[in-house]
Amino acid sequence: VFVWEKGYQEMDSVVSSVTTKAKGVTVTNTSKLGFRIWDVADYVIPAQEENSLFIMTNMIITMNQTQATCPEIPDKATVCESDMDCPAGSTGTHSNGVKTGRCVPFNGSVKTCEVAAWCPVEDDTHVPKPAFLKAAENFTLLVKNNIWYPKFNFSKRNILPNITTTYLKSCIYDAKTDPFCPIFRLGKIVENAGHSFQDMAIEGGIMGIQVNWDCNLDRAASLCLPRYSFRRLDTRDLDHNVSPGYNFRFAKYYRDLAGLEQRTLIKAYGIRFDIIVFGKAGKFDIIPTMINIGSGLALLGVATVLCDVIVLYCMKKKYYYREKKYKYVEDYEQVGTSCAPQAGSLSSWWGEEPGAWVWAWARPGRPLDSGWCCSGSCQPVTPGRQSNASLSICPVSGPPVLVFT
């Protein structure tokens, strides 16, 4: 574990900056807009964001709006039969303007409340299918990423030193053939995340481009390389498809020949690409090495105690294991032995030389009256010469042993 988890290294987290650039041109021809060319300035909104980029793929356009009064779009809250249904000055959560108090015809069969608003009001009931800018699938995105590990003063960027200008103009990222090319085709990004670009382009969504910079700085700096992965970040649940996708509104303002302010309102659907950079770097350092070695040794000691607790107190055979692990000392009559006679001992008392004998002497008032074991057999008691004492003698091989009780 120490080697696998690189416990001998000091670690640092990445500091990153990201810039993006989109490229691609397409053409549309509709009854409302006619023939029109779309380039980067038209579909990248806004032009720059922090670590992200929005590509417009679909839209609902309301042209030539002016501030006036007009009927609301029919729905449950705006359909009316008389002026009583349209209280003046009121607004709803989804209103396009402020009610004037009048109930006016929306068409030949439906009446709605009149509002003071930018007229004509937007009708976003139906989202265009297929996507208005379905050709955005072939647009490309250049990601420029600079990283820095402050602890080690190590910096690098995802446009590697061996990448030439010629290669950069022609390469497109591919996990197998061009894994370090920083230019991505939008359709391929969505495809690698397991989704269809044409389906996602209708109502929009959020895609994540993940750049992983995990580096072992004990090795050569050229081996510190970015790894790209892709995933869809907004929830796509077909069973609970309320307010799906990603969209917002913006307007382009201008004045007509009479000086009247007008605007073109665009509800833009599209895909926001978030560039998420993460990573860590490690380099050998003696301090974490010693700390982790000490921690590992301490953990081994704790493991021994923990195993004892489990075996002796938690397992079914805990009493059996407890008997085998511990030896219990009980208070028997015989409390001490000596392997050699000393001056003043019982053997010298009786004038015996050290030899093959065992002496047992009972304290006064506690004679040896029931026999005792010696060399695996029960020996009879021999009365001692001292009053109120008992003595037994056992021949054994070796020095005499005194046994006191």
**What are the pLDDT digits (tens) for 279-304?**
999 888 787 778 777 777 777 777 78
- Contact predicate 233/274, CB 8 Å: yes
**Does 194 score more than 50 pLDDT?**
yes
Higher pLDDT, 373 or 237: 237
Residue 352 has what pLDDT? 43
Highest mean pLDDT among 6-10, 258-262, 339-343: 258-262
Whether 247 has a binding-site annotation, put simply, is yes
Residue 377 has what pLDDT? 55
Residue 15 has what pLDDT? 95
Q: Which amino acid is at 136?
A: A
Q: Which pairing describes strands 154-157 and 183-185: parallel, antiparallel, or unpaired? A: unpaired
Closest Cα to residue 103, out of 146, 63, 72, 142? Answer: 72
Q: What is the pTM of this model?
A: 0.70
CB neighbours of 207 closer than 8 A, spacing ≥ 6?
189, 190, 193, 230, 231, 232, 233, 271, 272, 273, 274
**Does 356 score more than 60 pLDDT?**
no
- Contact predicate 228/208, CB 8 Å: no
Residue 140 has what pLDDT? 97
- Distance separating alpha carbons of residues 96 and 72, to the nearest angstrom: 7
**Does 247 score more than 60 pLDDT?**
yes
Residue 178: pLDDT band (50, 70, 90) is very high
pLDDT digits (tens, 9 = 90+) for 7-59: 777 889 999 999 999 999 999 998 888 999 999 999 999 888 889 999 999 99
- Distance separating alpha carbons of residues 147 and 279, to the nearest angstrom: 10
Closest Cα to residue 57, out of 204, 181, 175, 189? Answer: 204
**Does 239 score more than 70 pLDDT?**
no
Whether 22 has a binding-site annotation, put simply, is yes
User: Across all residues in the chain, what is the average pLDDT?
Assistant: 82
Q: Per 3-state DSSP, what percentage of the chain is helix, strand, and coil (rounded to 5)?
A: 20, 40, 45
φ and ψ of 42, to 5 deg: -90, -40
**Does 144 score more than 50 pLDDT?**
yes
Q: Where are the domains of the chain?
A: 9-64+121-281, 73-117, 290-325, 336-404
Angle subtended by helix axes 318-325 and 286-313, to nearest 10: 110
Q: Which pairing describes strands 140-149 and 154-157: parallel, antiparallel, or unpaired? A: antiparallel
Residue 288 has what pLDDT? 79
The pLDDT of 157-185, averaged and rounded, is 94
CATH of domain 9-64+121-281: 2.60.490.10
- Contact predicate 191/197, CB 8 Å: yes
Whether 23 has a binding-site annotation, put simply, is yes
- Distance separating alpha carbons of residues 124 and 51, to the nearest angstrom: 30
- Contact predicate 103/71, CB 8 Å: no
Whether 216 has a binding-site annotation, put simply, is no
Q: Which pairing describes strands 358-361 and 401-404: parallel, antiparallel, or unpaired? A: parallel
The pLDDT of 394-400, averaged and rounded, is 48
Residue 381 has what pLDDT? 52
**Does 170 score more than 50 pLDDT?**
yes
Residue listed under structure tokens 């647009």: 139
Q: Which amino acid is at 231?
A: R
Q: Which pairing describes strands 261-278 and 205-212: parallel, antiparallel, or unpaired? A: parallel
Give the largest CA-CA distance in the chain: 145
- Contact predicate 374/396, CB 8 Å: yes
Whether 248 has a binding-site annotation, put simply, is yes
For the beta sheet containing 358-361, the strands, ordered from the edge strand earlier in sequence to the opposite edge, are 336-338, 401-404, 358-361, 390-394, 382-383
Residue 316: pLDDT band (50, 70, 90) is confident
- Distance separating alpha carbons of residues 48 and 66, to the nearest angstrom: 30
Residue 330 has what pLDDT? 61
- Contact predicate 357/398, CB 8 Å: no
pLDDT digits (tens, 9 = 90+) for 58-101: 999 999 999 999 999 999 889 999 999 999 999 888 899 999 99
- Distance separating alpha carbons of residues 156 and 252, to the nearest angstrom: 41
Exposed, middle or buried, 312 (CB in 10 Å: 0-12/13-18/19+)?
Answer: middle
Residue 355: pLDDT band (50, 70, 90) is very low
Higher pLDDT, 133 or 306: 133
Residue 382 has what pLDDT? 52
Residues forming beta bridges with residue 275, ordered by sequence position: 209
- Distance separating alpha carbons of residues 79 and 65, to the nearest angstrom: 22
Whether 267 has a binding-site annotation, put simply, is yes
Higher pLDDT, 347 or 46: 46
- Distance separating alpha carbons of residues 119 and 70, to the nearest angstrom: 6
**Does 387 score more than 60 pLDDT?**
no
Q: How many helices (H) and strands (E) does the chain have?
A: 7, 23
- Distance separating alpha carbons of residues 246 and 53, to the nearest angstrom: 13
Residue 93 has what pLDDT? 84
- Distance separating alpha carbons of residues 387 and 204, to the nearest angstrom: 112
Higher pLDDT, 346 or 151: 151
Residue 11 has what pLDDT? 87
